[in-house]
Amino acid sequence: MKQRIERSIVYVAEVKGKVVGFANYSTVRDGGKVELAAIYLYPEFQGKGIGTALLQQAVKELKGLKEIYINVEKDNKIGMNFYEAKGFEIVKESDIEFDGHILKQVGMVKKV
């Protein structure tokens, strides 16, 4: 987490003074592209608009932002549904080797 904070952009979500999740973005790259590395929320705080607010904060604050990219595990139905509902579109599918296992990933993009 310390490296994420030092090398990228992190937005933290709090409810009643308690950290309940975060979103981690790259800096804005050539052409206004940003990678969303992760949105994590405690399960009991999912479905309450917090993930949406973490996306909206980046759109509001990241100067020059034109596209947000993310890779999602294909079997992550909650994540896939969330990003599709927010206007992300599938642009590629790939198999990634991770720790001796093959992960099926979907690359998605949202134009801002």
Torsion of CA 93, 75, 51, 12, to 10 degrees: -90
**Do 74 and 93 contact (CB within 8 A), yes or no?**
yes
Mean pLDDT of the region 14-39: 95
Query: For a pLDDT cut of 90, what percent of the chain falls above it?
Result: 87
- Tell me the average pLDDT of the chain: 93
pLDDT above 90 for 3: no
- The answer to whether the beta carbons of residues 91 and 108 sit under 8 Å apart is yes
Is 80 exceeded by the pLDDT of residue 86?
A: yes
46 touches 81 (CB < 8 A): no
Quickly state the pLDDT bin for 1 (edges 50, 70, 90).
Answer: low
What pLDDT is stored for residue 7 in this prediction?
Answer: 77
Predicted confidence (pLDDT) at residue 23 exceeds the cutoff of 80:
yes
44, pLDDT greater than 70: yes
